[in-house]
């Protein structure tokens, strides 16, 4: 669990460092036109910029979530490899974004992966930009849900 969390944290911070170094604020680099690009967006909110400009509140929520996960980790399937991987992904992701929120020069999460497409009128629509930490948290939660679903099905059988 700790190894997965450390790898995710490192990858998250390294990719954000590269974005901060190579892209100017609000700069975009199109990789596949009409599908994927790198952006440099700061987010002081949560997913989809919910609670925008509430960075400190979200940092406190992150700390509470991390503390809760550590204290109650035995309620999750931590005895299996997949359970440990899931919690490692979640821990690493939370800590990666938390560091961004608490960083004295940033005070915002750096998002840089953007999937999008063009509407018929030429305007762009897309999924909100995200980062490695966001991906790790979502994948970790999905694994925990899948583990729970498999265990429930096995118990019903």
**Pair of tokens at residue 146:** 């899948």
Q: How deeply is 9 buried, as exposed, middle or buried, from its count of CB atoms within 10 A (0-12, 13-18, 19+)?
A: buried
Residues 6+ apart with CB under 8 A from 60: none
Of 12, 77, 100, 134, catalytic: 134
Active site residue 134: yes
Strand partners, 42: 110
**Pair of tokens at residue 14:** 């390294």
Of 33, 74, 111, 152, catalytic: 111
Active site residue 111: yes
Q: Are 13 and 7 in contact (CB under 8 A)?
A: no
Q: How far apart are CA 61 and CA 56, in angstroms?
A: 9
Q: Are 12 and 133 in contact (CB under 8 A)?
A: yes
Catalytic (active-site) positions: 111, 134
């Amino acid at each position: 669990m700790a190894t997965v969390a450390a790898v995710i944290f490192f990858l998250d911070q390294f990719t954000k460092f590269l974005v901060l170094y190579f892209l100017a604020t609000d700069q975009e680099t199109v990789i596949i036109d009409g599908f994927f690009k790198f952006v440099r967006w700061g987010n002081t909110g949560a997913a989809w910029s919910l609670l925008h400009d509430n960075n400190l509140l979200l940092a406190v929520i992150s700390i509470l979530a991390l503390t809760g996960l550590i204290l109650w980790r035995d309620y999750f399937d931590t005895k299996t490899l997949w359970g440990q991987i899931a919690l490692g992904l979640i821990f690493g992701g939370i800590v990666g974004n938390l560091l961004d929120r608490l960083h004295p020069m940033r005070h915002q999460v750096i998002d840089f992966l953007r999937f999008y497409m063009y509407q018929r009128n030429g305007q762009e629509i897309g999924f909100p930009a995200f980062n490695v930490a966001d991906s790790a948290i979502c994948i970790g939660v999905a694994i925990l849900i899948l583990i729970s679903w498999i265990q429930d099905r096995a118990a019903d059988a």
